[in-house]
Amino acid sequence: MFMKRNKITYKVTNDEEHAAILKKVDVLMRISEANTTREQRQHIRAMGEALMAYEQSIYEIPEPSTLEGILERQMYEMRMKHQDLAQMLGISQEELEMIMWEDKRAEIELLNVIREKLDISAEVISNYIQKL
């Protein structure tokens, strides 16, 4: 018989709650992973998610506006490395890195592939082309 487990959740609505939960996470994180229970690990994860949600609600992080910034964000969100993104785009890792580090400009054909595969707005691509 399987019992449905309730998901552990926390909500942080102000700085005082943030500080208190941060202290709780700190205490639990000092215990080695081998010595924590499954429930403690679930609490750590839930508290971490609540802390992140609160921080994101009060600290605005602007969306990247450059092609390089967007590529970095996409790699982070998709949990990809340079070589993975390069393969997805059909270019070498070296070429991708040169484009990201602005040592080389992307060709129009590659920009179309990037726009299509990563769902990047035409405005970002246009801004990139105007800088050429």
CATH number at residue 89: 1.10.260.40
Does residue 105 sit within a domain?
A: yes
Percentage of the chain beyond pLDDT 90 is: 37
My answer on whether 36 and 74 are in the same domain is no
Identify the domain containing residue 22 by its residue range. 15-58
My answer on whether 76 and 117 are in the same domain is yes
Helix axes 67-77, 108-118, angle to 10 degrees: 40
Comparing 66 with 3, which gets the higher pLDDT? Answer: 66
Residue 1 pLDDT: 38
Render pLDDT for 65-86 as a digit per residue (tens, 0 to 9): 788 888 998 898 888 999 999 9
Does residue 40 sit within a domain?
A: yes
Comparing 40 with 131, which gets the higher pLDDT? Answer: 40
Pick the closest to residue 28 from 39, 17, 40, 12 (CA basis). Answer: 40
Number of domains the chain is built from: 2
My answer on whether 53 and 100 are in the same domain is no
Average pLDDT over residues 7-19: 93
Does residue 45 sit within a domain?
A: yes
Does residue 91 sit within a domain?
A: yes
My answer on whether 25 and 52 are in the same domain is yes
Is residue 43 within 8 A of residue 59, CB to CB? The reply is no
pTM here? 0.54
My answer on whether 72 and 125 are in the same domain is yes
Does residue 1 sit within a domain?
A: no
Average pLDDT over residues 112-132: 85
Residue 93 CA, chain-centre distance (Å), reads 21
My answer on whether 94 and 120 are in the same domain is yes
Render pLDDT for 51-65 as a digit per residue (tens, 0 to 9): 999 998 898 778 787
